[in-house]
Amino acid sequence: MEWLRRCSFYRGLLAAGLAVGLLVLAPGPASAQRVERVVDGDTIIVSGVGRVRLIGVDTPESVDPRRPVEFFGKEAGAFTKRLVEGRRVRLEYDWERADRYGRTLAYVYLPDGTFVNAEIIRQGYGHAYTRFPFKYLGRFRQFEREARAAGRGLWGATPGAERRVVASAAPSGRPAVSDPPAALARWDDNGNGRITCAEARRHGIAPVPRGHPAYRYMRDGDGDGIVCE
């Protein structure tokens, strides 16, 4: 009988341990925290949490010292700042809690229910980030399509101050105008918001270097600053 009691005791400990482990690993909401600072359009600093990268949204670069400020980067950062800085937010997690840089990955909600990640895309200040799966992927893609169709934010006409000429890697050597909406209309044949190497070669702009207007809409897998080399 003694060994039965001991077995029951250890089985109970094991079950309790598994339950605690599942609670730790399972995605779920966190209590409301205050946003201390907005780093850029898709990254914020949250009290008690640290640096938080918004899941499923990618805004133009504006603070990376290794890269130039991208089209609409400052506008995207300002939009997120107006939306959340100094306010209390609720975080919700998905299947992955942190990225390789140690940033917490989260969906961010305001007290009135505004879904911040989605709102950035809906208003045209960012793209749906589709490199990794997440539970709102389909919705975010739809929000991006709607923003593009309505010409919101970066999908609208390029402000005169933002127009600039950059060196193109096209065989012709002709300069290209940094105008993302026009670039998409010209090079994004399948209309999905991204430019593939096949499309780049078809239009004579490959290889595409960092700084070329098409680069922002492509995937530089090895991070060497040149796509489709």
Residue ranges per structural domain of the chain = 33-154, 158-227
**Catalytic position from the list 61, 70, 119, 199:** 61
Question: Is 53 marked active-site?
Answer: yes
Q: DSSP letters along the chain, please?
A: -HHHHHHHHHHHHHHHHHHHHHHHHS--B---EEEEEEEETTEEEETTTEEEEETTEE----S-TTSPPPTTHHHHHHHHHHHHTTSEEEEE--S-SB-TTSPEEEEEE-TT--BHHHHHHHTTSSEE--SS--TTHHHHHHHHHHHHHHT-GGGSPPPGGG--EE---STT---EE--HHHHHHHH-TT-SS---HHHHHHTT--SEEBTBTTGGGS--TT-SSEE--
Tens of pLDDT, residues 186-226: 788 777 778 888 888 877 778 877 667 788 788 877 777 77
Q: What confidence score (pLDDT) does residue 140 get? A: 95
Tens of pLDDT, residues 44-80: 999 999 999 999 998 887 666 566 667 778 888 999 9
**Catalytic position from the list 51, 90, 103, 194:** 103
Lowest mean pLDDT among 7-11, 88-92, 220-224: 7-11
**Catalytic position from the list 53, 122, 148, 216:** 53
Tens of pLDDT, residues 160-177: 433 333 333 333 333 333
Tens of pLDDT, residues 38-54: 999 999 999 999 999 99
Q: What confidence score (pLDDT) does residue 88 get? A: 96
CATH fold, domain 33-154, is OB fold (Dihydrolipoamide Acetyltransferase, E2P) (2.40.50)
Question: Is 152 marked active-site?
Answer: no
